[in-house]
Amino acid sequence: KSFLNHTAFLSCSFPNFQKIDLQDLRVFWQKGAVEVVHEVYYGHEKHANLSPKYINRTKMDMDKWTLQLLNAGVVDEGHYTCIVQHRDEGSPKVIHTSECLLHIIANYSQPEIEWLHTGELKPNEYLNLSCSSSGGYPEPKQMSWIVSYENKTQRFIADMDVSQDAVTKLYRVTSKLDVSVPTNTPTNISCLLYLGEQLDSLFSVPLHI
């Protein structure tokens, strides 16, 4: 995993137990089946075969056998393969391959509740609320509402309106809630954005009624 616009580290996991000289190795990384990301050609970096979008964006740490992908973006997500060839008596032979899957993460803004209701709230009237969060990646799993008053807590799971920016590929998510609240009892309403198993959930600032 890598945060958006940070450096992603992709490991080739090549042990090189035989201590083969780098001058006898060709190492290249590719994304998918066709895009060449980085190439070290018998000890020297070679740029002729690189996909244009990776030129000047990669560094290879040959001690740790790790590729650094600079300024990682959403478009860089996907499968990468590291291939090591040994020049031994003529034609090079593949002696190692490894694969890794890159996921990009971008932090969502703190969910923010907006009051869509106008005028004074009357007894047993429905309250109209909206909760929004933006600038995140990947797509969130769920947005829910937590309504607490006296010793009672209710949770509502409402439909999410999800949109993705065509350029940045980042998401904006909005959820709306219509809920009847007791007007004579202090009530707290919070919005919770659930991002999945790997990421922390985000809470809004509670709305006090």
pLDDT at residue 99, rounded to an integer: 93
DSSP assignment, residue 137? Answer: B
- CA nearest to 187, candidates 131, 148, 151: 148
CA distances in angstroms from 56 to 38, 42, 45, listed in the order given: 10, 19, 11
The domain 2-105 is placed in CATH, from the list 3.40.50.11310, 3.20.20.140, 1.10.510.10, 2.60.40.10, at 2.60.40.10
Using the predicted structure, report yes or no on whether residue 75 has a pLDDT greater than 70.
yes
- Write down the CATH superfamily of domain 109-208: Immunoglobulins (2.60.40.10)
pLDDT 10s digits, 32-63: 888 999 998 888 888 888 888 898 999 998 88
Cβ contacts of 46 within 8 Å, gap of 6 or more: 39, 40
In DSSP terms, 77 is beta-bridged to none
109-137: pLDDT as tens digits: 999 999 877 667 666 677 889 999 999 99
Whether the upstream peptide bond of residue 138 has omega within 30° of 0, thus cis, is: yes
Element (H, E) at 207: strand 207-208
Condensed to tens digits (0 to 9), the pLDDT of residues 136-187 reads 999 988 899 999 988 888 898 888 999 999 988 999 999 998 888 777 788 8
The pLDDT, as a whole number, for residue 123 is 65
Domain boundaries of the chain, sorted by first residue: 2-105, 109-208
pLDDT of residue 80: 95
